[in-house]
Amino acid sequence: SADHTTLVAAVKAAGLVETLSGAGPFTVFAPTNAAFDALPDGTVDTLLELGMKDDLTRVLTCHVVAADAMSEMISGMIADDGGMHEVETVGGCVLKARASGDMITLEDERGRTATVTIADVKQSNGVIHVVDSVLLPAEKAAGAVAMETPAEAEQMATADTPDTMATAETPDAMAQDGTADADGNPIVGGAPMFANKTIVENAVNSADHTTLVAAVKAAELVETLSGPGPFTVFAPVNAAFDALPAGTVETLLKPENKDMLTKILTAHVVSGKMSADDLKAKARAGKDGFYHFAAVSGDSLSAKVTGSGGLFIFDEKGNAYEVTTADVNQSNGVIHVVEGVLLPR
């Protein structure tokens, strides 16, 4: 994700790639680039130095919980605990989770607050919640001292205060796909996508979409998606299907489950052609910051734009998945590659 290049660099520098590629499950509160930029000048550069690995690790693991905690679960625990639930992180930090309207906030051990701006970005080994501030540990290692704002430093002087997320290089929620081919379309799954071919004709050539193609065939939607349309298709990659509970795909591909499979697949299809710019413009114009629209299945989808222009699609269950490759033009519409399966109600 263009919003998380600093976080990815930090995960690499701390040597946490293998950890966050493990089985987990993990919940990661992922600060945006803007969150790191808001730290005092020089802080990030200092933490990325070789000698600061321990301090950097302490900061990063303050954002990781050894559990798969969706926002609904966190909100439930907040309610059960009377409005504040303590969350212990892998790094030993204790975060105070609270509900603020429809949003979840996290207070770190220094009293700094981060808001979850995008929730429930599902991964094969957990979930990511995007946050707008870096959460800091209470202890003051050399690198952590540099993270104080002037106001915090003055307060400290006058008062007593107390690792698959896929890989860190390309986590499921941070994946980026190829460059443009001669047709002007992005490369998808290692294959060129041709604007004069149909959705099905192009999809069968993508190594990243073999499960989707098998599902389309099993649901007997090949003829429909080869028709004139136009259609907008949000196309989950193989890893998205792999992240579903064990046995789900095999069960859905059985003939007796054709209706359910069709319902799921058509929850990814919209009548009409909508570019990423169309979706972003409508989301920005939305009163609640979202663009709400209907899939062919009858389910509601919602689009939201991040501060740096990233595009996320929310399904009926509130799960958010990033559009990792946009505007793959087809003769009968457009494909946007997404990193999760959109589930119907």
Taking the domains of the chain in order of start, what are their residue ranges?
A: 2-158, 175-338
pTM for this predicted structure: 0.57
CA–CA distances in Å: residue 298 to residues 265, 282, 286: 12, 20, 20
Helices first, then strands: H and E counts in the chain: 15, 14
Q: Which long-range contacts (CB under 8 A, 24 or more apart) does 143-148 make?
A: 143/43, 143/46, 143/47, 143/52, 143/55, 143/56, 143/59, 144/55, 144/58, 144/59, 146/40, 146/42, 146/43, 146/46, 147/39, 147/40, 147/43, 147/59, 148/40
For 87-128, how does the pLDDT look when each residue is reduced to its tens digit (9 = 90+)?
888 888 889 999 887 889 999 988 889 999 888 888 878 889
Helix or strand (DSSP H, E) at 142: helix 142-145
Indicate the SS3 state at residue 145. Answer: helix
Locate all alpha helices (DSSP H) within 5-141, ordered by sequence. 5-13, 17-20, 33-37, 43-47, 53-61, 71-80
Average pLDDT score over residue span 281-295: 89
The per-residue pLDDT for 122 is: 82
Q: Mean pLDDT in the chain?
A: 82
- Whether the ω angle into residue 344 lies within 30 degrees of 0, i.e. cis, is no
- CA distances for 122 relative to 256, 276, 290, angstroms: 28, 21, 19
* pLDDT tens per residue across span 170-201: 333 333 344 445 457 888 888 888 899 999 99
Structure confidence at residue 139 (pLDDT): 60
When mean pLDDT is compared across 46-50, 61-65, 269-273, the lowest value belongs to 46-50
How many percent of the chain have pLDDT more than 70?
87
2-158, CATH topology level:
FAS1 domain (2.30.180)
The second-level CATH assignment, the architecture, of 175-338 is Roll (2.30)
pLDDT over 90 at 316, yes or no: no
